[in-house]
């Protein structure tokens, strides 16, 4: 039996009543990797409500953040509260765009029914994945109607983060036929709802029909699936198509209730994923951080080619047992 | 003292004489993660020649592969042999472009003075980084005048791979003023040679002058640096500016010889990086692969919120001690 950290009751009550300040403070602790956050996270996880999590991903420049912004507006209009976790792998090459995106979302920043947090990392995507999971643990104790997780889906790791969501919206821009063919295999398994943004582009209809073909084929291969991913066109700058998107999201949650076999399977997968990310993070910290000095002591021999990185790594592992 | 694997002498002789077949076979073993490759890699590392490694990175769509293609042509024209390792994090969204790039390089595929290998991974960037390092270990035993490592630099991990190179060429396209400002901080530390590709674009000159300002500032901050990164304009499709680029590369290697303090420092950093990647890969395989079954057994309790992923991860670690 574990003993509760002294402030657990207070923190849990604050989160339960929707206190954004407490939430923000905990996320900062998560990002700083404070060690005393872990006992708290264990208990918070067990107090989770199972809030609905919407994942939004897609390539850079697809207009995800404008879409999220529109989605927030629409959900607020329906009286729903929303928390947004935006994950930026912060490549030096995405700096400008991402800053602009965040500014765009700021219009909702004074609305108490909206919570927006951006999470970036230079260097450690592993740590970022774990921090995202930890943040969802905190947000899940709060009374949000929807939690949105947005990632820039350029790499497999960012796509993997989508395993933390209940429903995944894949945002694409109109593509040439060749590009769609090339992307097909990869995007086949990702989306529950496909959104073609910037739908006034000439390639939009072709992109939609390619995606529909892909989904029809998947339906043929897996006839038991109870959810058939819709493909819709939106224009995230003007907001055209956003109400249709919201409709599909509600329909998803009513079709795919938590007790369906498919959602139970996803839930299992999410837990496995989150556990592995925590494990990976602990391992990286424990072994890699403590190995710095040992590595330093071996470098001179490696430079003279009397030793090699493979043998040094093996030695380090053996020494830490 | 370690005993040499039975085929070490034969493999080392084949590589030493430049046998591309042996090299390709070893890389396949590396990618398949064959366990018997490790004893071989240890010895091969110690037989390394210290070949010159050129790293090329930059955002998707900057024209890196066309540039590499031109560079291969130019180096061949000068009578130099070249091995190319192209690393694709293979996001589903980059499929089309990357395929086209590879096809473009194929024109050199029948030239025995050129070796091209593409390395892609869906899922495990950690494993990919290690595989890239292992491949460089193999290529370093062979008599290449230059080894080129190319990555699509969208994430920090791909930029980190550049630590394996002696000289880093950062390829950019003409950017707007805002974009350059945003990118500055990030790209400041990366490049030894900055290349603005697609130099007929109207923003090209402004991008060059922004980069020059950035370098002048860095020079002010670090007056002891013996290498001042040049900024040059190229047109990778036509080949304009490639001879200038090759000139800067030679100048880099004559200025930054292996016994300078700066290059020794880089060499140390590379060894530390490669050792950590090997360590990270071993840890991930040992703990994460073996933990699957244990995680499965905890999922049901976590779904009922009687357990949590944090406690499960800690239990798994304790059990494997």
pLDDT tens-digit profile of A6-44? 789 999 999 999 999 999 999 999 988 888 899 999 999
Our CA dihedral for B124, A219, A58, A86, rounded to 10 degrees, sits at -80
Phi, psi angles (nearest 5°) of residue A17: -90, 5
**ipTM of the modeled complex:** 0.83
CB contact under 8 A, A46 and B123: no
Closest residue of B to A276, CA-based? B288
Candidates B47, B91, B310; nearest CB to A38: B310
Residues B22, B28, B31, B35: is their CA dihedral positive or negative?
A: negative
- Inter-chain CB proximity B288 and A276 less than 8 Å: yes
For residue B194, list chain A residues with Cβ-Cβ distance below 8 A. Answer: none
User: Is the whole model's pTM more than 0.80, yes or no?
Assistant: no
How many angstroms away from the CA of B318 is the closest CA of chain A?
11
Percent of chain B residues past pLDDT 90, beyond the cut: 49
pLDDT at B73 over 90: yes
End-to-end CA, chain A: 28
- Using an 8 Å CB-CB cutoff, list chain B residues near A264: 303
DSSP H helical segments within B165-260, as ranges?
A: 177-187, 204-221, 242-255
- What is the distance between the alpha carbons of residues B312 and B305, in angstroms, rounded to a whole number? 12
Cα(B150)–Cα(B57) distance, integer angstroms: 6
| pLDDT of B8 above 60 | yes
> How high is the pLDDT of residue B293?
83
- Residue B84 CA to residue A79 CA, distance in Å, equals 56
**Of residues A252 and B103, which shows the higher confidence score?**
A252
What's the average model confidence in pLDDT over A222-244?
Answer: 91
Distance of CA A155 to the CA centre of its chain: 12
CB count in 10 Å sphere of residue A114: 21
* B92/A183 Cβ within 8 A: yes
Separation in Å, CA of B119 to nearest CA in chain A = 15
The distance in angstroms from the start CA to the end CA of chain B is 28
Question: Are residues B279 and A90, on separate chains, in Cβ contact within 8 Å?
Answer: no
Residues 6 or more apart in contact with residue B201 via CB below 8 angstroms: B173, B174
Q: Given an 8 Å threshold on Cβ–Cβ distance, is A279 in contact with B317?
A: yes
Cβ of B95 within 8 Å of Cβ of A276? The answer is no
Residue B108 C-alpha, separation from nearest chain A C-alpha, in angstroms: 24
Average pLDDT, chain A: 85
- Asked if A310 and B41 come within 8 Å (Cβ–Cβ), the reply is yes
Cα–Cα distance for residue pair A130/A211, rounded to 1 Å: 32
A107 vs B194, which has greater pLDDT? B194
Nearest chain B alpha carbon to A60: B93
- Cα atoms in the Cβ-side hemisphere of radius 13 Å centred on B290: 11
Query: Which range, A58-67, A254-263, B56-65, B221-230, is most confident?
Result: A254-263
pLDDT at B188: 66
């Amino acid at each position: 039996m574990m003993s509760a950290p002294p402030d657990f009751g207070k923190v849990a009550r604050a989160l339960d009543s929707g206190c954004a300040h407490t939430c923000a403070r905990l996320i900062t602790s998560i990002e700083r990797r404070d060690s005393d956050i872990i006992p708290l996270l264990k208990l918070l996880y067990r107090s989770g409500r199972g809030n609905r999590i919407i994942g939004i991903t897609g390539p850079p420049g697809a207009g995800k953040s404008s879409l999220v912004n529109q989605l927030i507006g629409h959900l607020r209009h329906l009286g729903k509260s929303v928390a947004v976790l935006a994950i930026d792998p912060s490549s030096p090459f995405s700096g400008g765009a991402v800053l602009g995106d965040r500014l765009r979302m700021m219009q909702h920043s004074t609305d108490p029914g909206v919570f927006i947090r951006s999470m970036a990392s230079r260097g450690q995507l592993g740590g970022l994945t774990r921090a995202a999971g930890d943040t969802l643990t905190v947000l899940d104790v709060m009374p949000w109607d929807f939690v949105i997780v947005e990632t820039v889906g350029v790499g497999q790791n960012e796509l993997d983060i989508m395993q933390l969501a209940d429903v995944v919206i894949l945002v694409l821009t109109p593509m040439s036929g060749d590009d769609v063919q090339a992307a097909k295999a990869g995007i086949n398994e990702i989306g529950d709802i496909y959104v073609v943004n910037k739908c006034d582009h000439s390639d939009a209809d072709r992109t939609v029909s390619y995606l529909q073909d892909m989904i029809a084929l998947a339906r043929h291969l897996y006839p038991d699936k109870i959810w058939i991913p819709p493909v819709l066109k939106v224009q995230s700058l003007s907001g055209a198509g956003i109400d249709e998107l919201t409709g599909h999201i509600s329909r998803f949650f009513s079709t795919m209730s938590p007790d369906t076999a498919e959602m139970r399977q996803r839930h299992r997968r999410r837990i496995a994923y989150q556990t592995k990310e925590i494990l990976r993070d602990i391992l990286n910290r424990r072994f890699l951080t403590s190995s710095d000095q040992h590595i330093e002591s071996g470098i001179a021999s490696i430079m003279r080619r009397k030793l090699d990185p493979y043998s040094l790594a093996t030695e380090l592992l053996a020494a830490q047992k």
